[in-house]
Structure 1
């Protein structure tokens, strides 16, 4: 579905990814694991067109991926950034309506995302700046779903959240997984990531250093210790 082949990328003259090779298959969840600074978030930003590909190729459904973030979104890839990036001066309702009006006419509607995250229904008239971190994450995921994506890309969805909210986010993503939504997930929480993922790649120094199934990485304690510090 999504394939990175020998991708080199970074920030200006600073190269971060060195020949990155990653494949995400349709209907499956891919977790990208690694220590801080390994290149995980850089990989997602490169996929989304937020960073330029210096060399190598990225394809989506067998065709070269678009260059501009908006065109990538229109092609069916929705992104939940680590910073969430909701509009703080707009209400929850307005944040949702922006995505719904731009990418509507699909299975995901405002009513459906509120069914998924009932707390948002209670906060529709509250401004983005009035939300807790967990509520902001729910809103960021809901907004991405309103784009009716074929691939959902999430960067550190549990960072800074209380354990009870982490469990809620986990359960909702598990529901989406059961529905067959394809996902690419970057996450520091090893247990969270491997309980959701079908496939796992471990990144170190801007390259894939291990790949396999979630069951295999859970059993590979040497790789966990060397590359993840688990």
Structure 2
């Protein structure tokens, strides 16, 4: 579904990815793991067109991925960034309506009613501004907004960062539900247990390259890889 082949990318004069290659398959969840600074978020930003692709190739459904972030979104990929990036001056309702009106189409799988069923708390906060939400509520809003884009692939960067354990469990249960419904996902996450309990496939990134690939069960059993590349 999503293929990265020998991708090189970075920030300004600083190169971060050095020939990174991976494949995310349709209907499965891939977790990208690694230490801080390994290149995980850089990988996601390069996929989304937020960083330039310096070399290599990225394809989605067999076609070269667009270079502009807006066109990547139109191609069927939704992105939940580490910083959430909700619109703080808009209400919860307005944040959701922006995505629903632009990406809803004639018979969308995801509607306002459906995301509010998934996140009832947002239904209670529809008229609150983005700055009035807790961190957990902001994360719910970021995921709900991404789903209203009706994506074929959902990409999430550190969805549990800074959240209380009860909210982490809620996010986990939500993503587990989306997985059961067959939504393809790529997940970057520092929480090893969270990531490996959701993922089908795991890629470990170190120094801008893929250094380990396998199943979630494989990485849980590979204490050497955990120690060397994850510090677990």
User: TM-score normalised to the size of structure 2?
Assistant: 0.99
Q: For the residues of structure 2 that align with 1:13 and 1:177, how far apart are their CA atoms?
A: 38
2:145 is aligned, of 133, 143, 146, to: 143
Aligned to 2:4: 4
Q: Paired residue for 2:220?
A: 218
Alignment of structure 1 residues 1-230 onto 2, 5 Å? 1-105=1-105, 106-230=108-232
Q: How far apart, CA to CA, are the structure 2 residues paired with 1:21 and 1:27?
A: 19
Mapped partners of 2:94, 2:202: distance in 1: 36
Instruction: Kindly state the Cα deviation for residue 204 of structure 1 after the two structures are TM-superposed.
Output: 0.3
Give unpaired runs (5+ residues) of structure 1: none
Task: Provide the C-alpha distance between the structure 2 equivalents of 1:89 and 1:62, rounded to a whole number of angstroms.
Answer: 39
Q: Kindly state the Cα deviation for residue 22 of structure 1 after the two structures are TM-superposed.
A: 1.0
Deviation at 1:64, TM superposition (A): 0.2
Distance 2:8 2:70 in 1: 22
Task: Count how many residue pairs are aligned between Structure 1 and Structure 2.
Answer: 230
In structure 2, what is the Cα distance between the partners aligned to 1:134 and 1:208? Answer: 31
Query: In structure 2, the residue corresponding to 1:120 is in which secondary structure?
Result: helix
For residues 23 and 131 of structure 1, the distance between their equivalents in structure 2, rounded to whole angstroms, comes to 36
Query: Cα offset for 1:172?
Result: 0.2
Q: Distance in 1 between matches of 2:196 and 2:230?
A: 13
Task: Tell me by how many angstroms 1:143 deviates.
Answer: 0.1
Q: Structure 2: give runs of 5+ residues left out of the alignment.
A: none
Shift of 1:194: 0.2
Structure 2: distance between partners of 1:95 and 1:54: 33
Equivalent-residue separation in structure 1 for 2:69 and 2:162 (angstroms):
26
